[in-house]
Amino acid sequence: MQEISNKTLALLLFVAIVASLFSLFVSLNKITSLREFSGITGFVTPNATANVTINAIASMYFSDNSIDFGGGYVNGTVCEISTLGENSPNGLNGNAGGCYNFSVVQQGFVLENTGSANLSVQLMSNKNAEDFIGHASAVFEWNVTQGEASSCLNATGTTINLPWINISGAPFEAVDKATSQAEAKVICQNFQYVDASDTLNISINISIPQGAPAGAKTAEITAIGTTFVG
């Protein structure tokens, strides 16, 4: 058997190396093509997303929703009863100035914002003064103050400076014949919902003239709240 010369062996080795390099080049080219096609890389970058949506809730209610002056009679020209007691417009209470046997009430309605949105609040009654008391000279009024500091803000967001929220330039807003029973009055432009500042006091003042018809008298007061948009 003829022996293979060293030159032939070297040539065969060279051919084998070239073939190996060519095969390696082809393999790397296929891997690159596969990576570009499938998106496979040598780096891992996982992402996660957490989402939550918080909805604002418009809600309010009267925590104190009943006022009862009891039964009594008028002995004089007029009897004025008020939840403000001696702080009422004429400084009268349930048993003075012509009022006899009526109960003294020192607390009016308390309106609380129980939601998670600031509200614009309107107030209305189903009866005016004459319909409520039954006499043309009767007076039926309300007064609104902040139950807690900064409960009611102006539309600009600044705290109301006066202790009273005056309506029509008077300390009380009259519900009289000149006003439609269905007409609501804005009592607070921006009623806050934060727990420490979310209550309004609504005081009531009633003047009963002598000659008003006897009988139980009832009127409803309704608060209407819409989400405040500043």
Q: Where on the phi/psi map is residue 115: left (φ > 0), alpha (ψ -120 to 50), or beta? A: beta
| pLDDT for 77 | 84
Q: Are 132 and 219 a contacting pair, CB within 8 Å?
A: yes
Verify that 19 and 116 share a domain, yes or no: no
Confidence of residue 212 (pLDDT cuts 50, 70, 90): very high
Distance CA 200, CA 115 (A): 14
What is the full DSSP assignment across 130-154?
HHHHSSTT-EEEEEEEESSTTSEE-
Q: Over the stretch 102-122, which tens digit does the pLDDT of each residue have?
A: 888 888 999 999 999 999 998
Verify that 32 and 68 share a domain, yes or no: no
| 151: in domain | yes
Verify that 5 and 69 share a domain, yes or no: no
Residue 112 makes CB contacts below 8 A (sequence gap 6+) with 60, 61, 62, 63, 147, 198, 199, 200
| 142: in domain | yes
| pLDDT for 157 | 61
Verify that 35 and 125 share a domain, yes or no: no
Verify that 131 and 214 share a domain, yes or no: yes
Q: Over the stretch 142-160, which tens digit does the pLDDT of each residue have?
A: 888 888 988 988 766 655 5
Verify that 209 and 128 share a domain, yes or no: yes
Verify that 66 and 34 share a domain, yes or no: no
First and final CA of the chain: distance in angstroms? 105
Q: Provide the domain limits for residue 14.
A: 1-43
Verify that 167 and 139 share a domain, yes or no: yes
What average pLDDT score do residues 33-59 get?
A: 74
Question: Does residue 168 surpass a pLDDT of 50?
Answer: no
Domain count, the chain: 2
Verify that 2 and 68 share a domain, yes or no: no
Q: Are 142 and 205 a contacting pair, CB within 8 Å?
A: yes
* pTM reported for the whole predicted model: 0.69
Verify that 66 and 165 share a domain, yes or no: yes
Q: What percent of the chain has pLDDT over 90?
A: 22
Q: Are 88 and 95 a contacting pair, CB within 8 Å?
A: no
